[in-house]
Structure 1
Amino acid sequence: MDYVENIQSIKSKKGSKSRSKNKSNNQRWAVLSISSIPLVMTLGNSMLIPVLTVMENKLDISSFQSSFIITIYSIVAIILIPIAGFLSDHIGRKKVIIPSLIITGIGGLIAAWAGWKMEHPYWMILIGRALQGAGAAGAFPIVMPLIGDMFKTDEEVSSSLGLIETSNTLGKVLSPILGAFLAGFYWFIPFFSIPVFCLISILLMLFLVKTPNKRQEPIPFKKFIASVKETFKNNSRWLYSIFMIGIILMFVLFSVLFYLSDTLEKVYHIKNIKKGLLLAIPLAALCLASYTTGKLIKENKVLMKWVTFIGIILLVISIAVLGFSKTMWFMLMLFTIGGIGIGVSLPCLDAFITSGIKKQECGTVSSIYSSMRFIGVAAGPPVMAILMKSAENSWFYMLSGLSLIAAIATFFAIKPEAEQGADGH
């Protein structure tokens, strides 16, 4: 009898291990599928940066006007992201993400058709880009709370968010290369690639991502708003600081990318694939830094603070030193160091948000955070276009000063050792 019981016990343990392994594999595939969303959204925006100079010539527009092809996408996203976050908290993450990916694809088709068929397509391209921004609002920002729903421990969440942030930055690495390559055929081809990428992401989400069966019942709207207000009141110092840091890091990143793309083409006469490969160097460093940081930080919020602080200080120094020389390889080396600084900071900021906010409010709060990051994305190119004309020799001091403000906010406002018990933070 004991022998039979032992055999049954062994079989039960094996079955349990097998189920656990299958669940782990399924979750791994689900996270990889979800990672396709930030990849697609980043490609849909950053892929156009190396093509902006070409668009200026083809559409007969100024640098400032071309910067709005990037900016309009972000402006629309900024407005709609909080609404998408609220909806995802109430009707479910996938029910918001999948229609949003469809809208993004339609926006890409409109912009592509305008560039292909219209004689003066600039305004129609902006309409297509605005639709893409509307789709982006309901896709990328919902990824963070979806990861928070899928995993129980902070370690699993921070590790998965590291992969998500890596996918986002991988998109930035591939963007200049792919954008320059596709535009080498026809300048509007990058727009046509967007619906193709969206379709792939939709299929992955439909078949490989299963959201948790047990979802909390959505609380009434008034009670929900009161709860969100209470969350902001109780966590105002670190939460608002992370919002501000997110804006600054994205503003600096997209300002630098716009400047670098313009300088490589107009000063060094480097175009097409070669320009894309050079732009990819600092972005590849950013990507690798994000991936490594996501693996290392785990649940250690004190470590997250200091990694963020050191990363931003690296960014401050690298941009300030640019004032001493503007030779191409010196410039690329410093931007690469700055990219590492941004790369180590972003997964830490993501993890602070997802692990510091109650699950039923996570979609809304993380969406507001994503909205803040989009402000930086939207403002970077047009502000840099103005600075390159009016303050050509001092823009790097301005960006360095902004980054220093982010470092000071990290040092003084984010105090996880004192808040470890408050609201899960």
Structure 2
Amino acid sequence: MGQNQNEVRASSGISEKKWAILSIASIPLIMTLGNSMLIPILPQLEKELDITKLQSSYIITVYSIVAIILIPIAGFLSDKFGRKIVIVPSLIITGIGGIIAGWASWQMDSAFMWIIIGRVLQGIGAAGAFPIVLPLVGDLFKDDKDVSTTLGLIETSNTFGKVLSPVLGSLLAGLVWFLPFFSIPVFSLISLILILFLVKKPKNDKHELSFGRFSKNTKEIFKAHRRWLIAVFIIGAILMFILFGLLFYLSSILEDNYGYDGIKKGFLLAIPLAALCIASFTAGRVIKDSLIKMKWISFFGIVLVGATVAATMISDKFIYLIIVFSFCGIGIGAALPCLDAILTQSIEKEMRGTITSIFSSMRFAGVAAGPPVIALLMKGNNIDMILLLVGLSLIGALLALIAIKPEKEKQAIEIKPVLE
């Protein structure tokens, strides 16, 4: 009888974990949709709102800039008060931002400024939701293999959001141009309900980090692990810069050079993003708890990114570019969950939220900078753009090769941050 009860408890525990993973994975999916879904419909927003291309870029950029500023604060608050306490109100704020942007688009003649205000609120919500996912996974699972696998699923959810975004954004805007704004509160509500009811606070989960402790711990961690931490942060920014820069480039040439727009363009943009999504899922399953695998998969992933970007100089034929960018997506998708896992496994729980939040800020910085920089370079010769992206890939690969030392990162798990 006792054995049967134990089996039931074990089965129940596995089921609870699966639902918890699904709930947590909904957050990066929604946050990605909230931003990437608008990229393919910016030309339509320009016409409907009677704004310039520069103004339309603010709709994307303001979201990322706000998130960059507030993410480290959210990380500290999650270390001090707990993960769910930060995530829940952040999802509510995200939904409110979507309602404001959608209502202004629907009811106001001069809606642009109110849309920007709504996007600012969405950026605040993104800052307090998505970055906290990484440390939350580390809190929920004791086994490093479970952490790595789950982080792969989280990164897959994030990239799946990117796959879905261009198609869903184009589809919704095709029905009613401001419908993408109103979809955000619906998605946020679904995620909020999942988090509230299906993600339980881990046992012995104590968050008592004061600002004094926070400052001291941060200094200690950077003093001990400055070299590889900064390398991981820079690589994350480089990969997101390349990803969103190339998405902007591909979106532009699909419409300008090949005449694809609307749903067709959305599906074509989704092809390299689908490759990225599959690579993230696979990498998360392969790396398990091996920091050595994380290093080398990251390195070869970045090398693949640089090689595929360089290969765009060979031909500008449509099919060729889609294939090349798909391989680029594989490289980025393989590297990202490895970087997530390196941080989560190598930083003590008390400071995990803060450190992973700094990493998320760097990723958002890459997201914010990629499109405008590529837009400027596209005015001249594409060779300049290619050389920049290949150069950044080379820097990222060298950092992964030289600065990330698995034998040293493993020691970081044993080092207790100063708490007093």
TM-score, with structure 2 as normaliser: 0.96
| Pair 1:409 & 2:402 matched | no
- The 2-side partners of 1:264 and 1:219 are apart by 50
- C-alpha RMSD of matched pairs (Å): 1.3
Offset, 1:418: 4.0
356, 359, 369: which one aligns with 1:369: 359
- Structure 1 stretch displaced more, 382-391 or 265-274: 382-391
Any gaps of 5 or more consecutive residues in structure 1?
Answer: 1-10
86, 94, 105: which one aligns with 1:115: 105
Kept after mapping to 2: 8 A contact 1:64/1:382: no
User: Which residue of 1 is the match for residue 66 of structure 2?
Assistant: 76
| Pair 1:280 & 2:286 matched | no
- Structure 1 stretch displaced more, 253-262 or 133-142: 253-262
What code does the residue aligned with 2:197 have? F
- The 2-side partners of 1:143 and 1:223 are apart by 22
- The 1-side partners of 2:246 and 2:108 are apart by 32
Residues 326/57 of structure 1: CA separation in 2 closer, same or farther (3 Å cut):
farther
4, 29, 37: which one aligns with 2:19: 29
386, 396, 400: which one aligns with 1:396: 386
Kept after mapping to 1: 8 A contact 2:80/2:210: no
- The 2-side partners of 1:393 and 1:189 are apart by 38
What code does the residue aligned with 2:6 have? S
Offset, 1:424: 4.1
Kept after mapping to 2: 8 A contact 1:85/1:142: yes
User: Which residue of 1 is the match for residue 121 of structure 2?
Assistant: 131
Q: Secondary structure at the match of 1:156?
A: helix
Matches of residues 3-82 of structure 1 in structure 2 within 5 Å? Answer: 11-82=1-72
Runs of 4+ in 1 over 4 A off after TM superposition: none
| Pair 1:236 & 2:236 matched | no
User: Which residue of 1 is the match for residue 200 of structure 2?
Assistant: 210
Offset, 1:127: 1.5
Any gaps of 5 or more consecutive residues in structure 2?
Answer: 416-420
- The 2-side partners of 1:87 and 1:315 are apart by 35
Whichever of the two has the greater Rg, that structure is 1
TM-score, with structure 1 as normaliser: 0.95
User: Which residue of 2 is the match for residue 348 of structure 1?
Assistant: 338
| Pair 1:327 & 2:323 matched | no
Matches of residues 298-337 of structure 1 in structure 2 within 5 Å? Answer: 298-337=288-327
- The 2-side partners of 1:312 and 1:38 are apart by 22
- The 2-side partners of 1:333 and 1:106 are apart by 39
Q: Secondary structure at the match of 2:142?
A: coil
Kept after mapping to 2: 8 A contact 1:39/1:171: yes
Residues 262/59 of structure 1: CA separation in 2 closer, same or farther (3 Å cut):
farther
User: Which residue of 1 is the match for residue 418 of structure 2?
Assistant: none
Matches of residues 176-215 of structure 1 in structure 2 within 5 Å? Answer: 176-215=166-205
What code does the residue aligned with 2:13 have? K
What code does the residue aligned with 1:96 have? V
Offset, 1:13: 2.2
- The 2-side partners of 1:409 and 1:138 are apart by 29
Kept after mapping to 2: 8 A contact 1:42/1:172: yes
Q: Secondary structure at the match of 1:138?
A: helix
% same residue: 58
- The 2-side partners of 1:62 and 1:322 are apart by 30
- Structure 1 stretch displaced more, 280-289 or 325-334: 325-334
- The 2-side partners of 1:189 and 1:403 are apart by 37
- The 2-side partners of 1:108 and 1:43 are apart by 12
- The 1-side partners of 2:375 and 2:275 are apart by 25
How many corresponding residue pairs?
A: 415
